[in-house]
Amino acid sequence: MSIISSDEIFMRAALREARRGLGRTSPNPAVGAVLVDGGKIITKGHHRKAGAPHAEIECLRDLKKAVPKNATLYVTLEPCSTTARTGPCTAAIIEAGVRRLVVGATDPNPLHAGRGVSLLRKAGLEVRTGVLEDECSALNEAFNKWITTKRPFVIAKCGMSLDGRLSRPPGETRWITSAASRRHARQLRARVDAILIGAETLRADNPRLTVRGPRGAKQPWRVVLSRSGSLPRQAHLFTDRFAERTIVYGHKDLSVILRELGQKEITSVLIEGGGEILGQALDQRLVDKVQLYLGPVITGGPSVGFAGAGMAATREAPKLKGIRYKKIGQDVCVTGYPTYDEIRSE
């Protein structure tokens, strides 16, 4: 087995550790670490929540003995080199006696990028970087945007018919997609900091916007946009046990609202509707990712998935990159990342 392939194998193990912290570490990134000696993982750890020890510290603390001379520490993100909620991981790694370190992604914070690696190399450690870098970076796509722009990563999610409608005709059940698709969609809630809807969605559906599993997942903030401020005070969002995590915004532009949420250390926002809000976000080029669930029905009707002004020409429409399709029963889930290229003359 080559060094390259073994490094990738153990970095994948560190990635599995990192995923255990998804949805729990904000405003910090999810990070995993494993310590390997003699081709075997002897200890592992992940960052559990902001203020708790980082993945490297968790991993080394659980060893209960001196780091073996030939051990390698694998970590999905460059170790921090500054004191914030916790001390610098670089100092802990050096003090523990680690001699070889393999890093997945570089710290996306431009103020810190490469600094941790440089300090460790100066201390005499052998450091390899960029192992499964794309996968390690993608794990923290929301953090990566927020730490560089202080604006949250925006995901547009909805279930729609094949003709792009959000609801069935009046008098029919309001669900277009299957229960399995709705369960799949709710997994997103456990991984974001806030869920945003419009006033009409609140009035029509009276949603709870709660996380229903996995155990231990934190409840996201619930954000309602209302021009009039006239909302049903008995709605679930104002009366349930998470009522204090509901925010109502009035006469403010969506981009301003997102900036304010970013200032509150909200790194990711899931827009769940309705069509007007989704359309506004798309028109203003605020959407970073889409997750659409298509049910095998054609409903017609006025409730369009992405309303708003739309594009003046097809060539101006955002194109999706990184597209994935997942079949869920008879439904199809489509995910992708809009690209907002400048208008090209034909």
Q: Which residues are catalytic?
A: 56
Q: Which residue in this structure is represented by tokens 């994935």?
A: 324
Torsion of CA 9, 51, 286, 156, to 10 degrees: 70
Phi, psi angles (nearest 5°) of residue 290: -120, 145
Name residue 197's beta-bridge partners.
224, 273
Max CA separation in the chain (angstroms): 71
Give the SS3 label for residue 221.
Answer: strand
- Which two tokens mark 39? 């081709």
Contact 188, 157 (CB under 8 A): yes
The candidate with the shortest Cα–Cα distance to 151, out of 23, 27, 60, 36, is: 27
Q: Where does residue 297 fall: left (phi above 0), alpha (psi -120 to 50 degrees), or beta otherwise?
A: beta
Residue 335's Cβ-count burial label (10 Å; 0-12, 13-18, 19+) is middle
Contact 202, 231 (CB under 8 A): yes
